[in-house]
Amino acid sequence: MSLLTPASEVIQRHLEHFTDRHVILAGDIQDEFAATLEAASVRVLTNQYHHWQNLSRLMGENAQFAAIADADFIQPCNTLIYFWPKNKQEACFQLDDLCTHLAVGSQIFIVGENRSGVKSAESIMEGIATLQKIDSARRCGLYYGELEHPTHFDIARWWRRYEVEEVQIHALPGVFSHNELDIGSDLLLSTLNEPITGNLLDLACGNGVLAAVVGTHNPDVTLTLSDVSAAAIRSSIATLQANQLKGKVIASDAYSDIHDKFDWIISNPPFHDGLNTNYSAAENIIYQAPKYLKKGGRFRIVANAFLPYPDMLDKAFGSHEVLAKTGKFKVYQAIKR
* Beta bridge partner(s), residue 229: 48
Query: Which residues lie below 8 Å from residue 28, measured CB to CB, with a gap of 6+?
Result: 83, 84, 85, 86, 112, 116, 274
Closest CA to 33 of 65, 63, 61: 63
pLDDT of 277: 54
Q: What is the pLDDT along the chain (337 residues), one digit of tens a residue?
A: 458 999 999 999 999 999 999 999 999 999 999 999 999 999 999 999 999 999 999 999 999 999 999 999 999 999 999 999 999 999 999 999 999 999 999 999 999 999 999 999 999 999 999 999 999 999 999 999 999 999 999 999 999 999 999 999 999 999 998 989 999 999 999 999 999 999 999 999 999 999 999 999 999 999 999 999 999 999 999 999 999 999 999 999 999 999 999 999 999 998 645 555 556 778 999 999 999 999 999 999 999 988 889 999 999 999 999 999 999 999 999 999 9
Outline where the chain has alpha helix (H): 6-12, 49-59, 71-74, 88-101, 121-124, 183-190, 209-217, 230-242, 280-288, 309-317
pLDDT of 1: 42
Q: What's the pTM?
A: 0.94
Distance, in Å, from the CA atom of 119 to the CA atom of 127, rounded to the nearest integer, reads 16
pLDDT of 282: 85
Q: What is the DSSP string of 119-139?
A: GGHHHHTTTTB--EEEEEETT
Residue type, 129: A
pLDDT of 271: 67
Crossing angle (nearest 10°) for helices 183-190 and 209-217: 20
pLDDT of 281: 79
Distance, in Å, from the CA atom of 204 to the CA atom of 258, rounded to the nearest integer, reads 12
Strands 63-65 and 41-46: parallel
pLDDT of 276: 54
Distance, in Å, from the CA atom of 266 to the CA atom of 302, rounded to the nearest integer, reads 9
pLDDT of 66: 98
* Beta bridge partner(s), residue 83: 27, 111
According to DSSP, residue 147 is labeled B
